[in-house]
Structure formats: C-alpha cells, structure tokens
A and B are shown apart, each in its own frame.
Chain A
C-alpha cells in the first residue's frame, strides 16, 4: 500500500488545481460564474478601505468606539462588512504606551471583511515566526521604529479570534472629517506594522 500522494510531491500544483476544478464542475458543485464573481469580489470590493472606515468612525464617534471595543464583529457589521473570517473580530487599541501587532502563526487567519485578503508578507513563514520572537526588530525592518519605552504586544489570530488594530489618531487631524480620516488609514496600520501618519 502506497502513501497518499500530496500535492507538494507534484511539480505542477496548477495542473492539480485545474483537475480538481474540472471534477467539481462535472459534479455540478461549482458554477464558473459564481467562482469568477467571488474572485472579483475579493480582488475589488473587500479590502482595507473597509477597515479604514471603521477606524475613522471610531476616531470621531466615542459611542461607536465603545461598541467596537466591546464587540468588534457586531460593530463592524453596522457597516455591512461580514463574511468568512469575520465571525470573531476583536479590536485592540494602540496607545502612546502600547503598540499592538497581529500575526497568525498557525496559518494566516486575517479579518477579511475589514482588511480583504492578507498580503504576502503576512503569510510568510519568516514574518509569522519572527514577529513573535523579535517584534521590535521586525517592526523596525518594516520601517516602524518604536521608542524603547513603548511596550509591544503581539496578538496571534486563530480560527477562534481575529485581531484588528485600532491605530492612534495622528496629531493635527482635528480638522478632518470621517471620510478624510478614512483616506489616511492604511492596511499596515490596522495590522500593526505601521502607524498612521498625518495627511
């Protein structure tokens, strides 16, 4: 009896993926139009601009912020942002004393409804292992130098909880409205590998 082959033993995963898709099509389990629509949705419509709106509202509306901190998933749903990987979102707030950064060491869990699909560096084994072990060094390599007296907390997302960072609102943004604030919030700031800089 031979062991079940695994895809990595084959040089062409693309070919196996195509084979599997053709079998699923024959079984009527997938509809190409639906598949295309889902790809387009995640490439175009779901992304960090969603999370930026959530952050901007939290910065400008204390009551919304309280709801967001109490139950991330429910408060995010107020914007209509739902779906897989959005079931248990916990929001963690950066302060002048504590900087939060998110990883998923086991696979690449990520709060899709607010951030879209993860960037390649988030999925990389190097980021996943090193951000836990030497967060200050990795953040510095990614361009974020934090003062020694700022504590860094690393949050390991899992299938149970996905973390989402509420960045600090930059100084000199008092005159900006919610929409203008959303425009300056970046994906990296909501993962915690950057800060939001002013306009």
Chain B
C-alpha cells in the first residue's frame, strides 16, 4: 500500500480538475441512494459513525484491488457500504437485494427504471 497511485498522471482523467461548479451527482441513482441513506439515518436506522465505518471498509476494499485508482466511483462505494450495513444489521438481506435486482434485470427492454418517478 505504500506509494499508492504513484503513477497517476497529473493531467490525465484522474487528475483533479481545476474548475469549480461540477455536478454533485453524476447519475440519478447516485442522488437517490444518497437521499435514501440520509432518510434511514434520520430515522435512526443506523448511527452516522456506523455508516462511515462501512464506507471506509468499502473504499479500502475497492482500492486494495484497484491500486491504480482508475474507474473509481464514489457512490458505488457508498452503495456498497449501505447494502452491507443494512445486511449486517438485519434490515434488508443481501439475498433479497440479489433477488429483486434479478427481477428488475429481467424486465422488458425499454422499461424506465430511472428514478424520476415514484410508485
């Protein structure tokens, strides 16, 4: 883990941008899972420190297997942290998520599964 990311170019896609004002969320699901997480926290389903500990684990897990850092997506790690925290707390098991995601994946092509609507 020493010298992690030593070879990241200063002007490549992974270089920090110089401008302000970029989007907070790149995809609709990212803002959605952020809102879901904050709502669960507000309901005291978990303490903030517990979510943060799960996030640190998820980030480290990814960085250990992607030492060059390429393709990092913060909200994917955020999602992983939330999923594992809810699983370990017995709120929603990973097996249920697997099954539901599988059902969603087999929906007819063209089904709108962006989160611009609510049921």
Contact A17 B79, beta carbon cutoff 8 Å: yes
Whole-angstrom distance from the CB of A115 to the nearest CB of chain B? 12
Q: What B residues does A125 contact at CB under 8 A?
A: 4-5, 8, 14, 63, 69, 72
Chain A: interface secondary structure?
A: helix
Q: A42-B24, A127-B16 are in contact. Are A23 and B74 (CB under 8 A)?
A: no
Give the residue among A36, A39, A124, A141 with the most B Cβ atoms within 10 A. Answer: A39
Count residues on chain A whose CB falls below 8 Å from chain B CBs: 62
Contact B118 A32, beta carbon cutoff 8 Å: yes
Q: What B residues does A29 contact at CB under 8 A?
A: 40, 43, 45, 91
Q: What B residues does A176 contact at CB under 8 A?
A: none
Contact A19 B97, beta carbon cutoff 8 Å: yes
Give which listed residue, B76, B86, B100, contacts A8 with CB less than 8 A. B76
Contact B69 A43, beta carbon cutoff 8 Å: no
B interface residues with partner A (beta carbon < 8 Å): 3-5, 8, 10-11, 14-18, 20, 22-27, 29, 31-36, 38-43, 45, 48-49, 52-53, 55-56, 59-63, 69, 72-77, 79-80, 82-83, 86-87, 91-92, 94, 96-98, 100-101, 103-105, 113, 115, 118-119
Contact A129 B69, beta carbon cutoff 8 Å: yes
A107 beta carbon closer than 8 Å to chain B:
yes
16 contacts between A and B (CB under 8 A): A7-B80, A7-B83, A18-B113, A19-B97, A23-B96, A30-B36, A32-B118, A38-B39, A84-B41, A87-B48, A106-B56, A106-B60, A124-B14, A126-B16, A127-B16, A141-B15
| Bound CA span A139–B27, Å | 28
| Bound CA span A143–B17, Å | 10
Contact B92 A24, beta carbon cutoff 8 Å: yes
Give the residue among A31, A42, A124, A141 with the most B Cβ atoms within 10 A. Answer: A124
Contact B113 A15, beta carbon cutoff 8 Å: yes
A5 beta carbon closer than 8 Å to chain B:
yes
